[in-house]
Amino acid sequence: MKRSFFVAILLALILMITLSGCETAPTDITDLLLPPKLTGDQLAIEKALEANIGTKYLLKYPLTGKYRTAFILHDIDGDGVDEALALYSLDNETAGTHIMVLKEVSGKWQKQCDISGDGNEVNRIEFGDYDGSGRQYLTVGWTLFNSTDLGLSVYSIQNKTLKNLYKDSFTDMAVLDMDGNGTDDILLLKLDTGSKPSLAQARLISYDEGRLKQISSAPLDSTVSSYAGVYTTKLANGKSGVYIDGYKGAHSMATELVIWKNGGLATPFFNAKSGTASSTFRDVPIDCTDIDGDSQIEIPMPVELPGYESTAYANKLWLVRWCIYNAAGKITPKLSTIINLTQGYYFQIPKSWEDNVTVQSQKNGTIWYFRRYQKSVPLGGALLFEVDTYSQAEWKALSDKSGLIRALEDNESVYAVRLGNVNTRDDGLHLPESEVLQRLRLYTPQ
């Protein structure tokens, strides 16, 4: 996401505080980012909530995950009709979050049950059918008081009561059918930075012998300081896998993989001798993503573009080889891109370009010149094409668009291509206009 977006958000927040007339600004930025007043069914749910607790409350929002609203509709009891979850805290409470479950009866939302959570804030909400009954168990990750760990609570609705079936702690998690038996499992990832050496584990929580319990574990990279992302995916062999991006130092990352193999969890990228996932280490923080839209997650493996070998780290540009874990259990390259991280686009390069094409960046990345690499003039070779980034307003006001081809756009920007001089098109690296446009894509990581 481009820096201008974050600047705009910051300026808007400052303006809101300045114009509020309040003597004290809010201390929690989430209080400034509340959504607009609800309408329709959700407004009816809010009124039902107020009928039970009054009007002195604050709506609460999960910090991460798929569900980010204060009112969540989901069929928990498996009857085909959605229940409503309302997340809130009372004004007279110094900490804590409540979850109220409401059900629509004869056109009116009625309270079924209400719990005071096991932590301060809701980190995430998940749902899973862990026992194959068709019921969706409410799975909540809580931020814990005075702890960097997160708390896990799994609830079921029984006789209009939320019953806590399982508790645990974790650093990150995913809900998926890990073992392929047709029911959901909970994959918990845990860093233990207090140990010397640090210990890290993946643990699988499954329904077995009438209850949720840990059935398997596997080691993870012990040098990871925090997790950047967790991605469930189908692998080349058709089975489920979970990729995990972890930070290692100021700007380094590694990716780990958790799979189910031979009746238990396995982490094939983990090197038991070094205690690390060294095969996917990279010295630039680019996350795993489905780069080509085929519903499989790819692993980025960046290398410096030609001509940038001696450039300071902050000014380096990278060619990213995107890899997959193939059916033979190997990490193999799938495609290569050059990503403009500041402007939010990438170019998928043909194989012939590797080691032969580089990019000259100007004006903080708003102009990229794709050039033939020549060792004698590393960033001054023949121009193949350029990509210019304009704001929507700049593009609209641009009087001379001759030679510019409007290639991509999003809400903020227009990306225009200008092809190189026709006299440079005999070098074997030139691409026709149609192929340049086809290979240029918006970069939208997971």
User: 299: closest CA among 328, 327, 275, 330?
Assistant: 330
Q: Is the pLDDT of residue 186 over 50?
A: yes
Q: Is the pLDDT of residue 379 over 80?
A: yes
Q: Out of 69-83, 162-176, 245-259, 416-430, which region has the weakest mean confidence (pLDDT)? A: 416-430
Chain segment 254-276, per-residue pLDDT in tens: 999 999 999 999 999 999 999 99
Q: Is the pLDDT of residue 9 over 50?
A: no
pLDDT range class, residue 157, cuts 50, 70, 90: confident
Residues 6+ apart with CB under 8 A from 147: 169
Q: Out of 5-9, 265-269, 309-313, which region has the weakest mean confidence (pLDDT)? A: 5-9
Q: Is the pLDDT of residue 310 over 80?
A: yes
CA dist 372 and 306 (Å) reads 10
Q: Out of 40-49, 169-178, 384-393, which region has the weakest mean confidence (pLDDT)? A: 40-49
pLDDT range class, residue 20, cuts 50, 70, 90: very low
- What's residue 8's pLDDT? 40
Taking the CB of residue 52, how many other CB atoms lie within 10 A of it? 13
Helix (H) or strand (E) holding 15: helix 3-20
pTM, 2 dp = 0.86
- What's residue 433's pLDDT? 95
Q: Is the pLDDT of residue 71 over 90?
A: yes
Q: How many whole angstroms from its chain centre is CA 227?
A: 11
Q: Is the pLDDT of residue 2 over 50?
A: no
- What's residue 77's pLDDT? 86
pLDDT range class, residue 78, cuts 50, 70, 90: confident
pLDDT range class, residue 438, cuts 50, 70, 90: very high
Alpha carbon separation from 285 to 227, 258, 311, 313 (Å, rounded): 12, 20, 18, 12
Average pLDDT, the chain: 88
CA dist 250 and 285 (Å) reads 9
pLDDT range class, residue 426, cuts 50, 70, 90: low
Taking the CB of residue 2, how many other CB atoms lie within 10 A of it? 17
pLDDT range class, residue 164, cuts 50, 70, 90: very high
Q: Out of 196-200, 271-275, 307-311, 418-422, which region has the weakest mean confidence (pLDDT)? A: 196-200
| Contact present, 74 and 82 (Cβ < 8 Å) | yes
pLDDT range class, residue 145, cuts 50, 70, 90: confident
- What's residue 423's pLDDT? 61
User: 133: closest CA among 190, 78, 63, 55?
Assistant: 78
Q: Is the pLDDT of residue 182 over 70?
A: yes
Chain segment 351-368, per-residue pLDDT in tens: 999 999 999 999 999 999
- What's residue 98's pLDDT? 95
Chain segment 315-327, per-residue pLDDT in tens: 999 999 999 999 9
CA dist 405 and 362 (Å) reads 19
